Each structure stands twice: as structure tokens, then as C-alpha cells.
């Protein structure tokens, strides 16, 4: 038996090996936390062929470092400090920037503490295959571990630890390569501390370390021209200031300190909410806050105070006598500020643009309606910035030189694709080459002396209006993760790959454990044309007792995607599959999504089944949940299933099953509607593509909804409701549910007023049932599309549905307003929604199939995951709509090149200088603007325009004809849909 010796650590080492800190518990109690750290002398340096490190076979750093920098001819390694990753992540991620890099554990932990999104990017950077990065655990190596000294700040302690690790690396290099007797010692590579902290660099220089600022390092590289544009303005320590920077007058008030903001919000003196820019008027914004039914209105740049779309802001609400109504005029930023100069616009206290804005605000103040005043205030601070990379175009008029060979730095305007964002000022040496390109720009700062935020160029996406650039820009604009699945994720897939099959039935086989064999049931799927990721299948059959058995069978994704694996983490980060017109960004690798989990016909598949016994009038008698093995008998499109159901000559088991399902679905729908469910509408169109290969749009048409669409919908709703009840009953604190809160009545005030004044109709919003009944009565016998239009407008008054953790909100807020259901979840689409995967795991535990993973017992963990999923779900919806709009634009451009495109449209909004119209056939909204003065009646939602000696009145809900074309902006090269009235008057003359 081997001899075991136990050594007791000397008490003198405790000061280095123990980490002590205090923290406050949820109940306010202060506790001391003592953490032991075990220091070692075998933490590897990460360099190839290191004679001192035992595990050098795992090393990724070349032994001689990088020889590409003139300042370090003998080779070098880069060791960045924390602020480099906090401010220069775009540079570090660039494939053009690839020096051998050492990242310290101290830096990783400090980045995690300062910014979780940046920490996630840093983790991805460390794993990137095209980077030479080594993470050195300096806090666990005895020579590099440091303790915080008395009176030393945590930041100073971390900086000292970074310098100590840099010093150790240089000493380690020297010891690993001792001189050979009789030979001159070759020059050694150097580990260079990269920091934008001047104080840290000064201390490093005193200690004899090589250190450099990021700008100086990049300027010294041979490929500096392409990299300098990636530098964030915040890190430009030797950047030339703009003229008269010190003497510039502040345009915006200072933000209050964070502690003051949080205290003000807590006391109710200030209000917190997300800033929303006005798409029609760039001089207005709003902030929905819990303290008021209507959003807080912000009028003018000064009161918006540098807030950007999506920022979490603190607002101060003015006295009620100072409240205002929203403007009823379209104010376009590009038109108003077209003559602004990118270089000089920082000195703008008396320029023409500023005076024009002030004049416009004064004119609007006179015209604002007294009757529609709402809380008005100003932004006094930013609680959380929503800055990220934005897709932009270079405004060609802001260039001072268009010489394509010029490498001089220019200050130019980048105009974001989104109309909700301000123009961004950036300095670049590539301006002439970037005109006509879509580019990615990140905002770095917004000084109170500057009208515009400052940012830096990240990368070019491609030529404007090229499909590849447009598609990538769309994914970036809506923050859709679209990188290929990495090796660690793909390694989680079954090793058999496409050859994986359900093994022969065997009770001891883990694939068959506690599963029901449902392969003999007549099961089929009904999906849109071309669907490859088939999540769900159905069956129905009559029982001997006269009742009906109906089943929904869902792909058993949780059998393949296990908690705490790289594939699970990636699915959680993606949140959902994103469907674009001509491609799909999958949440899971294609092997699962379109093969092993997809319930394809005539193939045995693992499923999770919900099976009901229903009475003939569709009342639930019993429900059970089981893991199963199924073999779908057919995969129908909605149209094929409809044709089969309606064919009187067919009476086979499959057809009868579809008819039985359809009869039950009709009764289920009647029950939902009687309970107060809403039948809302959204403008859905279908893009007809030339071919899958070319993906050129040929035409646009409205989607046709059939009975079989409703059949599938009703049973999916029933399954989701049944599962929600089960998991909430079993896990009352952590069940993954979905709710749709009742909208505030104030959301409907405008629509109610329009209907009353224009049509003499009332809209009762006292409950979902009352709203459903009054929507049914909004019918114009002369205009069949009127009811659909009202339903679309009512949908926009609703709040968005959201996922939530059952223990995080009050029980009486669980309900789904639109479905009139007291409880709801998502269970039926686990291939494309991560929330459904979580629901599957909880249901499996609820029926005793498998224990629930510890993370799903943690309320805080479930809340964090669902926060990401909610965001990804919203972004995916917006990306899908934007993709449709882009292809509608392409189809319109092709049509308008052959002939003038005239479409029927409905007026949905009236402005003092224009009309908002909705083209139902194309599913798009547009703006018709008038250059000349027209009569505007805000109270009655009408405009009156002169026409050949007489006057024509146009009102909201009126049907008009519009000429639609796609116009290319001369400055930004951005294509945009432009509309003009064709009937009852040609608006181009106005």
C-alpha cells in the first residue's frame, strides 16, 4: 500500500492562500466569506517547447512569439489588461489582429464583474480557432498570486497583479532559455503589457516592463491602416481633439450620479424605463414607466439627453401644467440635418440646423392638441446603455475627400439603417472605399458637448443591396447569433450521425426506458410547404365508450440535448430558430433539427406525447403525458390536408383521423372564443421566389389560411395549456410559463376615438371577451377588409407575450389575455424554441421519467435564461418581418422597372404634413408626405387638400390608391419604399 503523508500548511501562508470578503444576504445580514485558494507551481505558461512547464503539449503560443511588429524585432507576446477588453473588443475579435495573446485569470474575472455581455464575447474569443490565446491562471500560481494590501483599491490590486504576471512571464522566458556556454545568448522575445491606463503604464515602466497603449501598438504594425478604424474613441489616448474642444458649450445637461438615480427611482421622485425613439419625429421620444398609464413624453434633444433606442433611463416628470401632447407632424432627421458638417457639428450652438430644430419645436408647441396631453419630462441619467454594433451607411456628403487612394483620416457621418437611431460620427481612413457599402459601427461615447454620438468602424459587410450584405446586416441589426456551430457543440451529437435510428424494442435499452410504443397509431403531421424541422404530429381515433382519443406528439429534443453541455448552452444563447424569407438560422444543429428530431413520415422517432380522452363535444375527460416512440404515416402541407379532408371519395383511417381532429378543433375554438379569446390579425404575406437557388422574388401575395391551419393551432394550444397546468402543479416556484398581460386601457384610447369619430363604432376594452365581441361588430358592409384592418390596429395596442418563471410573479398575473387562458406555456416546438426544451425537462420530471436538473430548481437561473429567451424571441420576430420587407422591396423594384405599381391602401394615420397608409396586399406600411401646406383636423383625423379648384378630404380608414416604388437614397445608397397618393388625388403635386 502506498505511503500517504499529510502536510499541514504553515499559518504564515494563510495570508496569501485565503481570500476574505464580506457580503450582504437577501435579508440584509452581513456575512464574512472565507475562500481557500491552493497555490501551485505547475500552472503552465502556454508556450510551445517550454522546458520548465510539464504540460507544454497543450500550449498554443509559438515559442518565439510574433515577429511581425517592428518595435519588437526579437519577437513578442501581448498581455492586455482589463480596460483593453472593456473598450477595444472589436479590435481583439478582428481576424486581422492575431498576435500571440496571454489573458490573465484576473482580467477574465474583472471583465465578468464589469460587463457580462463582454465577458461572453471574451469567452468566445478564447475558444476561437483562428486566435493564438492562452488563459493563464495567475491567481493560482504561487509566484504570481497577489493579495490586496491595506488601503489598496480592488482596481489597484488587479493592476498590480497584472504587472506581476507580466514580470513573471519575462523572467520565465529567460529561465526557460538559459545561455549555452561558449555561445552568445540570442535575444529573447518579450511579453508586452498592453494598457490604455496611463497610470498603470507609468508604474510598469518604473518596474522595467515593456508596455504600450493599444493605439501606439496598432500604429506600429505594418497593417495599421485597416486596424486603426477599429479602435474605440474611448481608448484614443493620443487622438487629436476636435477644434476648440475645451471651449465648446454644453448642449446637454450632465447626468446625475448613479447612486442619486437609483435613490430617486426607489423614492418615486424619478422613474425608470426603456427609451423609445419616435419613428416619425426624431425630436421626440417616450419612456413607458410603471407610475403612469401613458408613457412619459420627451420633447427635443435636450430632454432626450443622449438616450439611444433601448437604453434604460431615469426620467424626471414635469409638473402637470407643463405636460404636452405628442406632435402630429412628420419630422425627418435626414431632411432636417442634411447640411450638417461632420467635422464642425460639434461647434453648433448657433448653426442653421440647431436654429431650424428650435424653430420646429416652437411651431409644434403651438399646434399640439390640448386634449391629448400626457406626462412629459426629461432624461436625467442612463441606468444601462443598450449600445451595440449597428448597421450603417456612410453619408457621402460628409466626406471631405473622395480620393479612393487617400489614407488621410476623415470625420464622417454613419447613418444607421434603423430610423430610430441618431447619426454616428466616426473617424476613418477608409471613407472613400466605404461609400456604397453596408458597414458595422459601434458607439463609443456621446459627450454632452456633441450633437451626435461618436463611434468606430468595425467591418464592411458588402455592397449595398447585394443579397449577401443585406442578409448579414439584417441578422446583425437584430442581434441574431448566426455563427456556425463549433466543434464542442457538434461533439454533443450522436456519433452515428445521420445513421442513428431508434433501436429495436428492448426494455433494458435506455432509448426505450419507460416509453410507450405508439408506432401502430395513425399519426400524421401538417405543416407549411417545405417544412423540414417537423416538431409536431397528431392522431385521433374513436374509443369504444363513444369518446375520442386525440394525441399531440412532439419531437423529444431533450433526449438529445442534455443540460450543462455546450449544445445546451448554445441553444440557450440562441433562444429560437430565426426564419427569414430564403433561409433559416437554426437553434440546433441540422442533424437534430431536420433529421433525428424531425418527425418525418415512415421513420421511427422518439416523441413526447400528450394524449387526451375527449367527449364528443370536445370536453377533456382525461389527459396523460408519456415519452413514446412513433412512426408518422404521412407529412401533409396545410393545403394537402385540406384537400384530403374535403375529398368525399376518401374514407381511409388517415383521412377519418384528420376529419375527426378538424371537428374537435372547431369545437375547441368555439369554447375558446366563448371564454373571451381574441381573434386578432397581423399582415402576413408570402414571397414567391423564382427558385430555391436564385432566391429572386417574383411576386408577393397574402397568405391563405385554411381550416387545417386552425386544426393544428387548436391542438397545439390545448397541449400547451395541459402541460402548463402539470408543470406548475409540480414545480410551483420554477415552472417555465408564458403569459400575455392585459393591455392598459389607455393603449386603446386613440383607436377607440378614431372608430367613434370616423365610423360611429364603439370598442369595449373592459375584458378580452368584451373586446372580442366589439371587434366582431366592427364591420363595414361596403368594405370587407375593414374588419381585418381594425383587428391589425387592435393587435398593435396589445402588450407582447413573455416567458416567465412561475415563482417570480403573482399567481393572478399568470393568464394569457389573447387566448383567455388562466395558464399557458410553450411545449410544442422544442426544435426551434429553447423555452419548450425547458418545459420538456420539467414535464419529464413531473411524470417521474427523469430527475430535474438542479438548474431548473433555481428560480434565479430560470429567470436569467428566460430573460435571454424573451429578448431573442422579440429580435427573431423583428428580423423575420424585416426580411419580408426587404424581399417585398426587391419584388416591387422588379415590378416597377416594368410598369408603375399601383396598389389599394388604407389610411391608418393622419399627420399635419402627410398620411400613414397600409397596403394590405403587400403587408407593408408607408408614409405619404406633402411638401405644401394642407388643412389638418387633428380631432377628426382628416386632412383636406386642394384639387383643381375644389377640396378633397381624406380620413383615417379611407381606402385610397398609392403608387409604390423603391427609391435609392443618393447619399447613403439605401433603398427605401416610397409611396405617393394616386387616388383620390395625385400627391406629387402637393
Query: Do residues 815 and 838 share a domain?
Result: yes
The confidence band for 4, taking pLDDT boundaries of 50, 70 and 90, is low
Query: Quick one: pLDDT at residue 239?
Result: 39
Bridge-based pairing state of the strands 578-579 and 584-585: antiparallel
Are 762 and 663 part of one and the same domain? no
Residue range 176-191, pLDDT digits in tens = 888 877 777 788 899 9
The answer to whether residues 17 and 55 belong to one domain is: yes
515 within a domain of the structure (yes/no) = yes
Q: Is the pLDDT of residue 243 over 50?
A: no
| Peptide bond before residue 570 is cis, with ω within 30 degrees of 0 | no
CA distances from 942 to 328, 755, 757, 913 (A): 12, 13, 11, 11
Q: Does residue 502 share a domain with residue 401?
A: no
Residue 237 lies in a domain: no
Residue corresponding to grid cell 379569446: 677
738, β-bridge pairs: 803
Our CA dihedral for 422, 423, 427, 432, rounded to 10 degrees, sits at 150
- The verdict on 324 and 270 lying in the same domain is yes
Asked whether the predicted pLDDT for residue 847 surpasses 70, the reply is: yes
Is 684 or 181 the better-scoring residue by pLDDT? Answer: 181
CB 903 within 8 A of CB 962: yes
Copy the grid coordinates of residue 320. Answer: 402637470
- Separation CA 915–CA 929 (nearest Å): 6
Instruction: Write the CATH number for 956.
Output: 2.40.50.140
CA nearest 197: which of 235, 161, 228? 235
Predicted confidence (pLDDT) per residue in 942-987, tens digit: 988 887 778 888 999 888 888 888 877 665 556 678 888 888 887 7
Strands of 543-696 (E only): list them: 548-555, 578-579, 584-585, 604-614, 620-631, 634-637, 685-689
Residues 721 and 762 in one domain: no
Sheet holding 524-527, edge to edge: 516-517, 620-631, 604-614, 548-555, 536-542, 524-527, 634-637
Whether 921 is in a domain gets the answer yes
Asked whether residue 475 is domain-assigned, the answer is no
* Boundary residue ending a domain (798, 820, 845): 798
Banded model confidence at residue 688, pLDDT cuts 50, 70, 90:
low
Q: Which three cell numbers stand for residue 779?
A: 364591420
DSSP 8-state class, residue 651? -
Q: What gap in Å lies between CA 276 and CA 289, rounded to an integer?
A: 12
Count how many domains the chain has.
6
Closest CA to 565 of 488, 481, 494, 496: 488
Q: C-alpha grid cell for residue 530?
A: 417545405
Domain containing residue 272: CATH number? 2.40.50.690
Q: The CATH number of the domain where 414 resides is what?
A: 2.40.50.700
pLDDT for residue 975: 67
Task: Looking at the structure, tell me whether residues 206 and 352 fall in a common domain.
Answer: no
Q: Indicate whether 578 and 663 sit together in one domain.
A: yes
* Alpha-carbon torsion, ordered 607, 613, 619, 625, to 10 deg: -40
The pTM for the full model equals 0.82
* Of the candidates 445, 400, 395, the residue with the CA atom closest to the CA atom of residue 423: 395
Confidence of residue 344 (pLDDT cuts 50, 70, 90): low
Same domain, 209 and 335: no
Same domain, 721 and 756: no
| Cell representation of residue 118 | 463582454
- Domain end, chosen from 798, 819, 834, is at 798
Is the distance from CB of 606 to CB of 510 less than 8 angstroms? Answer: no
The sign of the dihedral angle between the CA atoms of 214, 455, 457, 110 is: positive
Which pLDDT tens digit goes with each residue over 202-212?
999 999 999 99
Q: Is residue 474 situated within a structural domain?
A: no
Please enumerate in sequence order all residues whose Cβ is within 8 A of that of 4, keeping only pairs 6 or more positions apart, or say none: none
Q: Are 697 and 890 in contact (CB under 8 A)?
A: yes
DSSP code string of 279-347? SSBTTEEEE--TT-SSPEEEESHHHHTT--TT-EEEEEEPPGGG-BPPP-S-B-HHHHTTT--TTTTTS
Beta bridge partners of 32: 22
Asked which of 798, 813, 837 is the last residue of a domain, the reply is: 798
Containing domain of residue 276, as a range?
258-384
Residue 247: inside a domain, yes or no?
no
Q: Read off the pLDDT of residues 263-321 as tens digits, 9 standing for 90 and up.
A: 999 999 999 999 999 888 888 999 999 888 889 999 988 999 999 998 999 999 999 99
Q: What pLDDT score was predicted for residue 237?
A: 40
Both 561 and 686 in one domain: the answer is: yes
Tell me the residue ranges of DSSP E strands in 446-582: 454-463, 516-517, 524-527, 536-542, 548-555, 578-579
d(CA 207, CA 203): 6
Q: What is the structure's pLDDT at 187? A: 86
**How far is 533 from 527, CA to CA, in rounded Å?**
10
What band does 681 get if pLDDT is binned at 50, 70 and 90? low
Q: Shortest CA distance to 219 belongs to which of 62, 102, 91, 95?
A: 91
Q: How far apart are CA 375 and CA 850, in angstroms?
A: 53
**Whole-angstrom Cα distance, residue 273 to residue 796?**
20
- 553 backbone dihedrals φ, ψ, rounded to 5°: -120, 120
Rounded (5°) CA angle 119-120-122: 60
Between CA 359 and CA 440 the distance in angstroms is 34
Give residue 318's pLDDT: 93
Q: What are phi and psi of 678, to 5 degrees?
A: -95, 140
User: Between residues 696 and 953, which one has the greater pLDDT?
Assistant: 953
Question: What span, in angstroms and rounded, lies between the C-alpha atoms of 83 and 64?
Answer: 26
Q: Which three cell numbers stand for residue 444?
A: 463609443
Quick check: is 823 in a domain? yes
Q: Are 165 and 138 in contact (CB under 8 A)?
A: yes
Same domain? 756 vs 873: no
Q: What is the pLDDT of residue 240?
A: 40
Do residues 217 and 228 lie in contact, with contact meaning Cβ atoms separated by under 8 Å?
A: no
Check which CATH number belongs to the domain holding 146 and give it.
3.40.50.1010
pLDDT above 90 as % of the chain: 41
Q: CA 566, CA 833: separation in Å to the nearest integer?
A: 17
Instruction: List, in sequence order, every beta strand (DSSP E) within 615-722.
Output: 620-631, 634-637, 685-689, 697-702
Beta strands in 775-920 (DSSP E): 802-805, 901-911, 914-919
Buried b (16+ CB within 10 A) or exposed e, 653-678: ebbbbbbbbbebbebbbebbbeebbb
The least confident of 44-48, 101-105, 368-372, 545-549 is 368-372
Average pLDDT, integer, range 434-443: 88
Which residues lie across from 526 on neighbouring strands? 636
Cα angle, residue 265 at apex, residues 263 and 268 outer, rounded to 5° = 110
Helices (H), 103-257: 105-114, 116-127, 154-176, 198-206, 214-219, 224-228
Q: What is the mean pLDDT of residues 48-55?
A: 80
What is the pLDDT of the chain when averaged over all its residues? 85
Question: In this structure, is residue 252 part of a structural domain?
Answer: no
Amino acid at each position: 500500500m502506498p505511503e500517504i503523508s499529510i502536510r499541514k500548511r504553515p499559518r504564515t501562508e494563510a495570508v496569501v492562500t485565503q481570500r476574505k470578503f464580506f457580503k450582504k444576504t437577501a435579508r440584509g445580514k452581513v456575512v464574512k466569506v472565507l475562500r481557500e485558494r491552493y497555490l501551485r507551481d505547475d500552472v503552465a505558461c502556454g508556450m510551445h517547447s517550454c522546458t520548465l512547464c510539464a504540460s507544454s503539449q497543450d500550449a498554443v503560443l509559438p515559442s518565439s512569439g510574433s515577429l511581425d511588429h517592428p518595435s519588437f524585432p526579437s519577437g513578442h507576446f501581448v498581455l492586455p489588461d482589463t480596460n483593453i477588453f472593456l473598450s477595444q473588443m472589436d479590435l481583439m475579435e478582428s481576424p486581422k489582429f492575431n498576435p500571440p495573446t496571454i489573458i490573465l485569470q484576473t482580467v477574465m474575472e474583472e471583465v465578468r464583474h464589469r460587463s457580462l455581455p463582454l465577458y461572453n464575447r471574451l469567452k468566445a474569443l478564447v475558444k476561437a480557432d483562428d486566435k493564438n490565446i492562452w488563459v493563464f491562471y495567475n491567481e493560482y500560481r504561487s509566484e504570481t498570486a497577489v493579495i490586496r494590501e491595506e488601503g489598496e483599491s480592488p482596481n489597484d490590486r488587479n493592476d498590480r497583479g497584472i504587472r506581476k504576471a507580466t514580470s513573471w512571464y519575462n523572467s520565465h522566458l529567460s529561465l526557460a532559455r538559459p545561455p549555452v556556454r561558449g555561445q552568445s545568448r540570442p535575444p529573447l522575445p518579450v511579453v508586452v503589457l498592453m494598457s490604455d491606463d496611463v497610470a498603470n503604464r507609468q508604474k510598469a515602466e518604473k518596474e522595467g516592463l515593456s508596455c504600450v497603449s493599444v493605439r501606439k501598438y496598432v500604429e506600429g504594425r505594418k497593417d495599421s491602416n485597416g486596424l486603426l478604424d477599429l479602435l474605440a474613441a474611448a481608448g484614443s489616448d493620443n487622438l487629436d481633439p476636435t477644434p476648440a474642444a475645451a471651449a465648446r458649450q454644453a448642449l446637454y445637461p450632465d447626468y446625475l450620479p448613479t447612486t442619486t438615480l437609483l435613490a430617486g427611482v426607489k423614492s418615486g421622485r424619478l422613474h425608470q424605463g426603456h427609451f423609445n425613439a419616435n419613428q416619425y419625429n426624431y425630436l421626440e421620444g417616450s419612456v413607458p414607466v410603471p407610475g403612469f398609464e401613458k408613457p412619459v413624453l420627451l420633447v427635443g434633444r435636450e430632454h432626450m439627453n443622449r438616450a439611444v433606442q433601448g437604453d434604460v433611463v431615469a426620467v424626471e416628470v414635469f409638473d402637470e401644467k407643463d405636460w404636452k401632447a405628442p406632435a402630429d407632424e412628420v419630422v425627418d432627421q435626414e431632411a432636417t440635418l442634411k447640411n450638417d458638417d461632420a467635422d464642425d457639428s460639434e461647434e453648433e450652438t448657433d448653426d442653421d440646423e440647431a436654429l431650424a430644430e428650435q424653430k420646429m419645436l416652437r411651431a409644434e408647441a403651438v399646434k399640439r392638441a390640448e386634449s391629448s396631453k400626457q406626462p412629459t419630462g426629461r432624461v436625467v441619467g442612463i441606468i444601462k446603455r443598450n449600445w451595440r454594433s449597428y448597421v450603417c451607411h456612410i453619408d457621402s456628403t460628409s466626406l471631405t475627400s473622395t480620393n479612393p487612394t487617400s489614407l488621410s483620416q476623415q470625420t464622417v457621418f454613419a447613418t444607421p439603417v434603423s430610423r430610430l437611431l441618431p447619426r454616428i460620427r466616426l473617424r476613418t481612413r477608409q471613407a472613400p472605399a466605404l461609400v456604397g457599402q453596408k458597414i458595422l459601427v459601434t458607439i463609443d461615447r456621446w459627450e454632452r458637448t456633441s450633437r451626435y454620438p461618436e463611434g468606430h468602424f468595425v467591418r464592411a459587410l458588402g455592397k449595398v443591396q447585394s443579397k449577401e450584405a443585406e442578409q448579414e446586416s439584417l441578422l446583425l441589426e437584430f442581434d441574431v447569433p448566426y455563427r456556425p456551430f463549433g466543434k464542442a457543440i457538434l461533439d454533443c451529437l450522436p456519433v452515428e450521425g445521420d445513421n442513428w435510428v431508434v433501436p429495436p424494442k428492448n426494455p433494458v435499452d435506455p432509448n426505450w426506458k419507460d416509453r410507450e410504443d405508439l408506432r401502430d397509431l395513425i399519426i400524421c403531421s401538417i405543416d407549411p410547404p417545405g417544412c423540414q424541422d417537423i416538431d409536431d404530429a397528431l392522431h385521433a381515433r374513436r374509443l369504444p365508450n363513444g369518446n375520442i382519443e386525440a394525441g399531440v406528439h412532439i419531437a423529444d429534443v431533450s433526449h438529445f440535448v442534455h443540460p450543462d453541455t455546450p449544445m445546451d448552452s448554445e441553444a440557450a444563447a440562441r433562444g429560437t430558430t430565426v426564419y427569414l424569407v430564403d433561409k433559416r438560422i437554426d437553434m440546433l444543429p441540422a442533424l437534430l433539427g431536420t433529421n433525428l428530431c424531425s418527425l418525418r413520415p415512415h421513420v421511427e422517432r422518439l416523441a413526447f406525447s400528450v394524449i387526451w380522452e375527449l367527449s364528443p363535444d370536445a370536453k377533456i375527460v382525461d389527459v396523460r403525458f408519456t415519452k413514446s416512440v412513433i412512426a408518422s404515416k404521412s407529412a401533409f402541407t396545410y393545403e394537402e390536408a385540406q384537400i384530403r379532408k374535403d375529398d368525399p371519395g376518401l374514407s381511409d383511417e388517415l383521412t377519418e383521423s384528420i376529419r375527426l381532429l378538424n371537428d374537435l378543433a372547431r369545437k375547441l375554438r368555439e369554447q375558446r372564443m366563448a371564454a373571451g379569446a381574441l381573434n386578432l390579425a397581423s399582415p402576413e404575406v408570402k414571397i414567391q421566389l423564382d427558385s430555391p437557388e436564385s432566391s429572386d422574388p417574383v411576386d408577393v401575395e397574402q397568405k391563405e389560411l385554411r381550416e387545417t391551419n386552425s386544426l393544428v393551432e387548436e391542438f397545439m394550444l390545448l397541449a400547451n395549456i395541459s402541460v402548463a397546468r402539470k408543470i406548475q402543479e409540480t414545480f410551483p416556484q420554477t415552472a417555465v410559463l408564458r403569459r400575455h398581460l392585459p393591455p392598459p386601457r389607455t393603449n386603446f384610447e386613440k383607436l377607440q376615438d378614431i372608430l367613434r369619430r370616423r365610423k360611429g363604432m364603439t370598442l369595449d376594452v373592459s375584458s378580452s371577451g368584451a373586446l372580442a365581441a366589439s371587434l366582431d361588430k366592427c364591420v363595414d358592409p361596403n368594405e370587407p377588409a375593414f374588419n381585418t384592418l381594425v383587428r391589425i390596429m387592435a393587435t398593435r395596442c396589445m402588450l407582447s407575450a413573455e416567458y416567465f418563471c412561475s415563482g417570480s410573479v403573482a399567481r393572478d398575473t399568470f393568464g394569457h389575455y389573447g387566448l383567455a387562458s388562466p395558464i399557458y406555456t410553450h411545449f410544442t416546438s422544442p426544435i426551434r424554441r429553447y423555452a419548450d426544451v425547458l418545459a420538456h425537462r420539467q414535464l419529464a420530471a413531473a411524470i417521474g421519467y427523469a430527475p430535474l436538473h438542479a438548474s431548473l430548481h433555481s428560480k434565479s437561473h430560470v429567470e436569467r435564461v428566460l430573460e435571454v429567451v424573451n429578448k431573442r424571441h422579440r429580435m427573431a420576430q423583428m428580423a423575420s418581418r424585416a426580411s419580408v420587407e426587404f424581399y417585398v422591396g426587391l419584388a416591387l423594384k422588379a415590378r416597377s422597372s416594368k410598369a408603375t405599381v399601383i396598389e389599394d391602401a388604407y389610411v391608418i394615420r393622419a399627420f399635419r404634413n402627410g398620411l400613414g397608409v397600409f397596403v394590405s396586399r403587400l403587408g407593408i406600411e408607408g408614409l405619404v408626405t406633402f411638401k405644401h401646406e394642407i388643412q389638418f383636423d387633428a380631432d377628426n383625423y382628416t386632412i383636406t387638400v386642394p384639387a383643381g379648384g375644389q377640396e378633397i378630404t381624406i380620413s383615417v380608414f379611407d381606402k385610397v390608391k398609392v403608387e409604390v416604388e423603391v427609391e435609392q437614397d443618393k447619399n447613403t445608397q439605401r433603398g427605401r419604399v416610397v409611396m405617393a397618393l394616386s387616388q383620390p388625388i395625385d400627391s406629387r403635386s402637393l
